[in-house]
């Protein structure tokens, strides 16, 4: 699906019953960029508490990691480009 914006994948967002835990690597990355405090509470700029709660109950099948990950982890990934009408535009670059 590659186009001028560098987007390689169009990944659908799925609803889940129980939130998917963040990996230790994702937690370390969130702490290093200031989006998580030392107690493990997420602090995403521009995202309300209500929206964050909804994001925790969503997942995507990551084409880069080849695994199902929580949307919060996808949202803070360097490959995340945007989300429009329930689909994530992913750049698909290797880490």
- The mean pLDDT values, 10 residues at a time, for the chain of 95 residues are 76 95 86 86 87 94 94 91 94 89
- What was the pLDDT predicted at 2? 54
70 lies in some domain: yes
Total tally of structural domains belonging to the chain: 1
Q: Is residue 95 part of a domain?
A: no
CA distance 61 to 47: 22
Q: Given this model, what pLDDT does residue 4 score?
A: 60
Whether residue 31 is contained in a domain is answered as yes
Structural domain that includes position 84: 9-90
In a domain, 17, yes or no: yes
pTM (two decimals):
0.86
Q: Is residue 2 part of a domain?
A: no
Residue 75 lies in a domain: yes
Give 58's contacts (C-beta < 8 A, 6+ positions apart): 13, 14, 15, 16, 70, 71
- Looking at the domain assignment, is residue 3 inside a domain? no
Which pLDDT belongs to residue 94? Answer: 87
Q: Which of 83, 84, 82, 62 is nearest to 73 (CA)?
A: 62
Residue 15: which residues within 8 A CB-CB, separation 6 or more? 57, 58
CA dihedral over 10, 5, 91, 31, signed as positive or negative: negative
């Amino acid at each position: 699906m590659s186009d001028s914006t560098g987007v390689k994948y169009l990944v659908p967002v799925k609803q889940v019953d129980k939130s998917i835990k963040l990996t230790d690597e994702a937690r370390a990355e969130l702490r290093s960029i200031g989006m998580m405090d030392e107690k493990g509470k997420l602090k995403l700029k521009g995202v309300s508490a209500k929206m964050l709660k909804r994001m925790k109950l969503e997942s995507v099948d990551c084409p880069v990691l080849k695994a199902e990950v929580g949307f919060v982890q996808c949202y803070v990934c360097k490959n995340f480009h945007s989300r429009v009408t329930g689909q994530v535009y992913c750049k698909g670059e290797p880490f």
